[in-house]
Each structure stands twice: as C-alpha cells, then as structure tokens.
A and B are shown apart, each in its own frame.
Chain A
Amino acid sequence: MNDHTLPSPAWTVSMRTRASSVSAAVALVVVALAFAVPFFATRAVLQDLFFILTMLVLAQGWNLLAGYAGLVSVGQQAFVGFGAYAMFAAVSLLGLDPLAGILIGGLAAAALAVPTAFFVFRLEGAYFAVGTWVIAEVVRLSLAQWKALGGGTGTSLPSGATRDMAGVRLVADWLGVRAAQATDIVCYWLALLLAVATVGLIYGLLRSRHGLGLAAVRDNREAARSIGVDPLRIKSFVYLVVALVTGLTGALIYVQKARISPDAAFSVPDWTAYVIFIVVIGGIGTIEGPIVGVVVFFVLRNLLADYGSWYLLILGLIGIVIMLFAPSGLWGLFANRTGIQLFPVRRILTGTHNAQTIKGVPHG
C-alpha cells in the first residue's frame, strides 16, 4: 500500500527557529561585550560579574542534573568543595600554578564522582537527593581532618600565589593595572570562558542524540530502554560531566577567594540552596532558565543585602511559590506566552510541499 507513503525528501527535521538565529547573534555580541568589560569596569563590578558567572555555571550544571536527567542532587557542594581543596593542595602543597590547580580541581571532582556515583545511584528519587547530601558531609568531615590544609579552621593560599598565576603579569603590563586587579581580571575571564563553554557544552549535548536519549529516559524510562537507551549509562555520564564542571568552578571561586575552610567550601546555602533557587525561579529544564534566574537572584541579593536572614527566608518563600504555581519558572511563563526559545532543543518537522509544521512537545 504505497498510497500513504509521504514523499520523503519533502520533510526535514530542523531545530532552528527564527528566535534562535537572532539569539545566536545576540549571544555573540553579549560574549564579546562581556570579554571587553575589564577594559572599562571597576574591580567591584568585575567581582560582581565573577560571582554571577560562577553561579550561572553551577546553576547550569544542577539544571542539567535535575531538569534533564532527573537527578535531584542536594549535594553538589561536595564537588565545589573537593575541587577547591584539590586546587589548594596543588598550589599550597605541590607549589603548582593556580591555573593548573583549577584543572586539577575539576579532574579531582570528576574522579570523586566515580565512587560517589557507585553509592548514590543505588538510590532513587528523593533518596538520591539525601544520599548526595550524606556524601557531601562525608567529604567535608574527611577534609576537615587534613591538617596540612588547616583542618577544620581552614587556610589561605600562600601569599603571592595568585599574583604569580599564569597570565596575571601579562594582563598587568598590558592594561597597566596592579597585580591584584590583574588577578581579578584573569579570574573573570576564566569564569567567562567556563560559563560560555558550559552553556555551549550543555546546548550541544541536548541537541545531540544523547540529549534525545536523556529526554526519553526522563519522560518514560521503560520505553527509552526498550529502544536501546541505557538510563544508567546516560545518567552516569551527565553526573560525571556536571561534577567536572562544578569542580572547576569551585576551584576557580577559591582561587579568587584565596582562603578556604571546610564549612565555607561545603556550604549548603551557598552552593546548593542559591543554585536551586536560581534554577527554580528562572525555569527548570531550560537553558534560558538559569540565565534569567541568576540575574533575578543577583538583583534580589543586592536589594535585600541589608536584611540578614530575611533575605534567605524571602528567597525560600519565592522558591516555594514558584514551584507551586509556576513550576516552569519565569522563563517558562515567558516562553509559553510567546513561544520564543533562544536555545531550541526540540526537533521540528518541516515540510516543503505545504507549510504545515508538526510541533513536538518541548525538548522532546
């Protein structure tokens, strides 16, 4: 019965939308502008932007875990802290360059994710969440025993270590600034690089067949298995990649801070509560969400900076209200009204004979 067969060349699968073509151009301009910021901005502005960029990377990582892979972790601080401690060990104990330390921090966090995954992947759903938290506590308590890095009270980077970091002198001479400011500039550029690379990596992953597999596993695990997607394998891969990115970020943050303690490096509010808030308010399960969320978060932080614990209380309440009444977040509300997607990951079937399009469900 050939009557029902459609002429095959007439249909193509496309992921591009008009908005995404515009947004690609806008993204290029934004990145170029962001790169140029150190040429005219003050140190305070740079440090704020550094904070925003690093939180964005952490949020994108958590969003990939929770929003796409269904792995709701409350223990990402394990990788922030472990990456930071590995960087400290590389710089303070081995005398390596902080830049090398950052790379070591990322690799160490990824290495930590292997035994960690072995434990937490035995747990499902909510149990996974608390399991990751227990692991983070174990790592924190273990590193607090490391006397060479200050034990429970922590330690600072050797004086001058960040000033001697690769590239700092170059930047200082080039821009005619002091070493301390040059350090901030280098850290900022590294954060920018990390943020762009992370968003690009996640975008690429979600558009690839692995992204399709991930969405399939999230939507229906059994059906996905039946067509040959291995849920455990794909989830482990995502977990490892996010650990690597989170470790790099943790190490970079602590190069800039230059002082570490177990309680700060493994802080649940700083590295998990804020991150979850950013993703939830922006819109979980979208790449745009964390970007919107981090901006809202930063504005709220500055508005409420003088109110101490009221700040976190209000953040918590906003998070609850959003989760209950607008679970797709601010970006979700916007995208549902306008249909705009800046980072489209859904496949759209377009036909050339008639202009009819068959739209898929989001991200799937």
Chain B
Amino acid sequence: MNWLDTIVQGVLLGGLYALFAAGLGLVFGIMRLVNLAHGDLIVLAAFLVLLLASALGLSPFVAAALAPPAMVAFGWGLQFVVLNRTLGKDILPPLLVTFGLSIVIQNGLLEGFSADSRRIPAGALETASLQFGPVSVGTMPLLTFLSAIGVIVALNLIFYHTDLGRAFRATSDDRATAGLMGIRADRIFATATGLAMMVVTIAALYLGTRANFDPTMGPARLIYAFEAVIIGGLGSFWGTLAGGIILGVSQTIGAAINPEWQILAGHVAFLLVLLARPRGLFPRAVD
C-alpha cells in the first residue's frame, strides 16, 4: 500500500466534503439553523445539472453555470417563505420542518427520476489524471479540491470585505440591533440561503461527475458535511476545509485497511475529535 497516495487521495476527497459543508456552515453561522435537508438539496442540484446537461447536450460545467439561478431562487424562496417562520428560541420547528423537507425532496426525486443511480457525464475528464512524482492525481478530484479552496476564499471575501458580509455578521451577532440599523433579517437570511444554494450547486457538480448518485444518498452527504463543520469548529470556513480533509483522509486510510471500513473510519475520527475537542479544532464563533 502506498501511504502517500492514500493520504493525497484523502485530502482531495476532503475538498468535496468541504464543499458539502461550506453551505451548511454558512447557514448555521448566520441563523443557527441546521438544515437537515442540506444533503438532499445537493442531490437535487445534481439532478438539475444532469437534466440541463443531458437535455441541452451541454458540458457539465456549462450546465452547472446555468443551474445556480434556479437553485438560488429556490433557496431564497424556501428561506423567506418557509424556514424564516421556524426560526426562534424553540429548536423543534426548524429541525422537524427541514427533516420533513428532506423526506419530501428524496421521495420527489425518487418519483421523478426513479431509484436508478446516475452520473453526470464529464467525457475525457472522468478518467484524466496528472502525475506528480510517485503520486497520480485524478484531474476531477484536483479540480474539486481547487474549487473548494476557491469557494472558501470567495466566502471569506464576502463575509469580511463586503457590506453584505457585514450585514451577515451583524445579524448573526445581534438580530435586534442589526434591525435598528436598517438590516432586514428575514431578507438577509434568505440571501444567505440563496448563497448557500450556489455553493450547493458547485458541490453537486462534483458529486455528480465524480461517482454515481441516486435520490437516497442525501442524508449521508448531510452527515459528512456536518462532521466536517464540527471537526473544523464553528464559524471558520478554513476550519471547515480542515475538517473535510481530516474526514477524507480518515476515510481513505480506513478503506486502505479494509474497504468496508471507509465510512466507519470517518465517523470514528469525528467522534474522537468530539471527545478531545468538543468545540472543534479551529472554533471561531462563540455558541
């Protein structure tokens, strides 16, 4: 077994998990909402990209560039019309409504696309790879990882260098005071979920081109995303990337020892971090 190769593949896989996690962490950071349908929204976006790519005969990258308006509008509307009503001191409504949404999306997709597993065709890119010394790196995994870094840089820029980001942070810190300054929290929340859907679409592109997917695999993606956010620590996007990488490397090492242990190894790594550092490795937000 080539350990270096295993670790490199794990780091690249971690990029995918960081993409899953960035949207979840963004929404949680701003409005303390854990969206249990997050994984299903990723799968929904993957089907949308697949539909656009196959119906219009487009490259998956062009299709993924066309998908965000629909996803962002959906996310904005979902937050504004449904999820905003659930926010409050009681944690039950947001959890149960998003859990219901998860069931609805899963079964809607099953009804529309059947339980068959699909893949977004990416042509020659699917099998292309680059050689770095002794390690061979797939082009798609590398692109995934670079996109994760790009998304995190972009989110940090938005958060810390724009008016929108200031409004995000202000609303997150103190909704009432932000309201006095003319920030409408309900719109800020809707915008945040819209932005999260943009990240979700990017994640979906790589989920769909990298391997097969089917309507029922959303919940597992939610769990990976959640684990990456917790391992990394709340409120830090770079921490989320680190969390994704730790999860990815644990999984590839587990799989290298015994293929049946891949997922289990990731969960165990998560539990160990939880045991040693309950607030994650790089916590930023105080919550």
Contacts and interface: CB of A to CB of B under 8 A. Distances in A.
Interface in B106-141: 106-108, 110-111
B237 to A, nearest CB: 18
A74 B102 CA distance: 12
B97 A324 contact: yes
Interface in A124-183: 125-127, 129-131, 133-135, 137-138, 141-142, 144-145, 152
B107 A129 contact: no
B34 A273 contact: no
A137 B223 contact: yes
A269 interface: yes
Contacts of B271: 119, 134-135, 138
Contacts of A245: none
Contact of A312 (B99, B107, B260): B107
Given A134-B267, A145-B260, A119 B100 contact: no
The B contact surface, by secondary structure, is helix
Contacts of B111: 308-310, 313
Contact of A327 (B34, B93, B108): B93
Contacts of A152: 260
A240 B166 CA distance: 44
B243 to A, nearest CB: 13
Interface stretch (A5-13, A87-95, A223-231, A314-322): A314-322
A101 B28 CA distance: 43
B270 interface: yes
A293 to B, nearest CB: 13
A323 B263 CA distance: 33
A327 B223 CA distance: 27
A112 interface: no
Given A126-B34, A134-B270, A327-B93, A312 B223 contact: no
B227 interface: yes
A123 B274 CA distance: 9
A129 B28 CA distance: 14
A127 B95 contact: no
Interface in A283-335: 284, 308-313, 315-317, 319-320, 323-324, 327
Given A141-B263, A141-B264, A126 B223 contact: no
Interface string B249-287: 000000000001001100110110011001000000000
Contacts of B222: 130
B75 interface: no
A218 to B, nearest CB: 10
B82 A324 contact: yes
A319 B268 CA distance: 33
A66 B92 contact: yes
Contacts of A142: 264
B226 A125 contact: no
The A contact surface, by secondary structure, is helix
B92 A72 contact: yes
Interface string B16-37: 0000000000001000111010
Contacts of B187: none
Contacts of A144: 260
B104 A313 contact: yes
Contacts of A313: 103-104, 107-108, 111
Nearest to B28: A126
Nearest to A129: B95
B103 A141 contact: no
Given A137-B223, A138-B264, A313-B107, A319 B96 contact: yes
A284 B92 contact: yes
A153 to B, nearest CB: 13
B178 interface: no
A57 B261 CA distance: 34
B264 A309 contact: no
Nearest to B219: A268
A276 B93 CA distance: 12
A310 B109 CA distance: 10
26 contacts: A72-B95, A119-B271, A123-B278, A126-B91, A134-B223, A134-B227, A134-B270, A134-B271, A135-B271, A137-B220, A137-B223, A137-B267, A138-B268, A138-B271, A141-B264, A141-B267, A268-B219, A309-B108, A313-B103, A316-B107, A319-B103, A320-B97, A320-B100, A323-B86, A323-B100, A324-B86
Interface of A: 66, 70, 72, 74, 119, 122-123, 125-127, 129-131, 133-135, 137-138, 141-142, 144-145, 152, 268-269, 273, 276-277, 280, 284, 308-313, 315-317, 319-320, 323-324, 327
Given A137-B223, A137-B263, A319-B96, 13 more contacts: A119-B275, A123-B274, A126-B33, A126-B34, A138-B268, A141-B263, A276-B99, A284-B92, A315-B103, A316-B103, A316-B104, A320-B100, A323-B86
Interface of B: 28, 32-34, 36, 82, 85-86, 91-97, 99-104, 106-108, 110-111, 219-220, 222-223, 226-227, 230, 260, 263-264, 267-268, 270-271, 274-275, 278
